[in-house]
Amino acid sequence: MIGNLWHRTDRLARNLSPAGLALALVIIGAVPLHIPGYARVVPMLPLMAIYHWTVFRPQTMPAILVLVIGLLQDALTGLPIGVNALVYLIVYGLVLSQRSFFVGKSFAMLWLGFVLVCVVAAVATWVLVSAYNGILAAPSPVFFQAIATIAIFPFVAWFFLRWQQTFLGYD
């Protein structure tokens, strides 16, 4: 009885770890580093988690979690509430619908898919912020944010793959 409870608790904790990692990336991305201009171009760290876990472990990244991640990021970064939530839900739906294409492909294909998703997310964010403010926002911060996100994706993806192999196995 106790062994079965321990096994179920262990499995639950392992399956919740991708959500914890995604939420940690929201907080890490919101930490002020006091580098001039950094806040405007900080990489979209949660986007990487949403993309990775939706491709490899969609059961650990349900839509409600994606919504919470987006709302939390909006609240912590000062964007209008709902912008990141909507963008992340769009990305989630897009990636989930194309998931079978990415599974089993090379890292280059996975990265190319992320590049496309990141561009969609950046453009959607720019459009939503511009619409919210009633003016065309400067596209350069979103452009540089997307470049930074694409550039560090391989490192974050490597970490997620190691995490997946070590703690989640190959279910």
What is the pTM (predicted TM-score) of this model? 0.91
The per-residue pLDDT for 170 is 57
Q: Give yes or no for a contact between 63 and 89, defined as CB atoms under 8 angstroms apart.
A: yes
Q: Which domain holds residue 56?
A: 2-31+39-168
pLDDT at 38: 72
Distance CA 87, CA 140 (A): 18
Phi, psi of 129 (to 5 degrees): -65, -40
Residues 84-118: tens digit of each pLDDT: 999 999 999 999 999 999 988 999 999 999 999 99
Beta-carbon contacts of residue 67 (< 8 Å; ≥ 6 apart): 85, 88, 89
Confidence of residue 36 (pLDDT cuts 50, 70, 90): confident
CB 8 within 8 A of CB 47: no
Query: In this model, does residue 39 exceed pLDDT 80?
Result: no
Supply the DSSP symbol for 116: H
User: What is the pLDDT at residue 1?
Assistant: 66
14: pLDDT strictly greater than 70: yes
Q: What's the pLDDT band for 32 if we cut at 50, 70, 90? A: confident
Q: Count of domains in the chain?
A: 1
Q: Look up tokens 């399956």; give the residue.
A: 15
Whole-angstrom Cα distance, residue 89 to residue 63?
Answer: 7
